[in-house]
Chain A
């Protein structure tokens, strides 16, 4: 009896919050996705799957999906780089902790600060109120012509992906170093005694020990790539073909007041995440 009471009392607040702020909005999201409605819910009209059709057939929305491919490719470059740097940092190296700290620190910096730093970094001056940013200054110093990094389609996405790598690589680095260091030092010593070279040590000792964490980071990278929001939103506001699916969703809901359509977009994102998670579970089941 006391047990049941404890269970109920302890779970009361978290469950109420969970239902109110996750499940009710989720249910509404599915319902609204079949309707045409604004933020205030006046003149609601049932439209069936019309919103979903709009999401999949409007080129604008599709372009946003295409942009996540840039971020996905960036995530894989980031993982490879982080793995490489982690291996170097785990070898005998002086100032290793200092290097690790420097590379990790951007992860701690406020997102808006990071975005503003790079908004300036890539800036192309207009000759009146704004001068060239850091990168264009370097280019001019080297005798080249300044480039419009943030207002050239395609190039802008590469710049934004760079910012995202700059910011997040430290996190992967710390994860990989943690995994590599969890291998007992005796094993490395034994390998050294047996005359194993660097590549053999990496191939037969390091790689297997960090396989699960690499897999996990790869799957998280997919989820991350389709949920990119803050960095492009603050740096470019999604202009010049740099919009992402989440930027589109929030703008549809709050700027254009099309809650039905935005809900449909949220549902689409939800299903993508569900599919990726199922793949994640299958992969890790096989691992075990």
Chain B
């Protein structure tokens, strides 16, 4: 129907159509150029890197840059540590976050309201600047220099997740809880058997935001895990600048190694990532 009524293609339309693609191609080039240079550079040896044009293809592919970055540059170790931290932090956030949201949203007690207000107020504290005093407390517990420090911060100060869970629970009817309660189920059973499964989409949203956030975080691991053995992806790359200060081909190899998992995850979960970010931001 609409196709039949559609106006004929006049020159103005064609011009707009051309412009649309031209703009998109330019925008994509701006994204691509810095990345292509990194990829090309990572395959060159040091002499060629210094002498050839940045866009020139490598005459001979130099895989040893990747080996150096992986092993000596500790990117492999960084990937491993990052995975461990992500795994523990996400599990922790989901357990504590859903429990907190369940209690705060379903039981309207005075105590609950006070806690809810306390969580809300906590979002106002600037997280990086706050480390000035958090550091001392972490140090007091002996957590500085261990994975415990970032994990505790990722789990314990993540208030956005609790809000996403609460918003989602708002749209789940009470009738299921109530009938289960009448059947004699305890609150913990209700949480485990009814609430948790219903929260699955919200859990997916939180996981996406959380994984991106932790993978990209630089400040927390840099401050609390300064030792080389506890390098994560961010800090291992950052520490490249010292020993490989002028060896950009090795730094580039490290960058490529750290982008590849991101790219795979992005291509596989594209749709869910977009949805997760959109759902997550509306809850701010």
B122 contact from A18, A174, A177, A263, Cβ within 8 A = A18
| Residues of A contacting B235 in the complex (Cβ-Cβ under 8 angstroms) | 112
Taking a contact as CB atoms closer than 8 A, the residue among A104, A112, A263 that contacts B133 in the complex is: A263
Which residue of A is nearest B138, CB measured? A21
The dominant DSSP class at the B interface is helix
Contact with B251, one of A29, A39, A116 (Cβ below 8 angstroms) = A116
A62 interface contact, C-beta 8 A: no
User: Is B219's CB under 8 angstroms from A229's CB?
Assistant: yes
Q: Is the CB of A111 within 8 A of B37?
A: no
User: Is A102 a contact partner of B241 (Cβ separation < 8 A)?
Assistant: no
Q: Which of A3-11, A44-52, A53-61, A152-160 touches B?
A: A3-11
B11 at the interface (CB under 8 A from A): no
Residues on the A chain within 8 Å of B259, using CB:
109-110, 113
A278 vs chain B, min Cβ distance (A):
10
Is the pair A103, B28 in contact by a Cβ cutoff of 8 Å?
yes
B54, A134: Cβ atoms under 8 Å? yes
Interface segment out of the listed A71-79, A142-150, A246-254: A246-254
One of B55, B97, B136 near A28 (C-beta < 8 A): B136
Report the tally of A-B residue pairs with Cβ distances under 8 A.
243
List B contacts of A104 (CB < 8 A): 274
A113 x B255 contact (CB < 8 A): yes
Q: Is the CB of B96 within 8 A of A133?
A: no
Give chain A residues whose Cβ lies under 8 Å from the Cβ of B30.
166
With A6-B187, A85-B27 given, name 7 new contacts (CB 8 A): A7-B109, A21-B157, A108-B263, A108-B265, A175-B278, A193-B2, A213-B281
Chain A interface (Cβ < 8 Å from any Cβ of B): 2-4, 6-8, 10-11, 13-15, 17-18, 20-26, 28-29, 32, 39, 41, 85, 88-89, 91, 93, 95, 99, 101-113, 116-118, 120-121, 129-131, 133-134, 137, 141, 166, 171, 174-175, 177-178, 189, 192-193, 198, 213, 216, 220, 227, 229-230, 234, 246, 249-250, 253-254, 259, 262-263, 265-266, 269-270, 273-274, 277
13 contacts between A and B (CB under 8 A): A10-B99, A17-B152, A18-B156, A26-B125, A29-B130, A102-B28, A110-B215, A166-B34, A175-B278, A220-B284, A253-B131, A263-B132, A274-B124
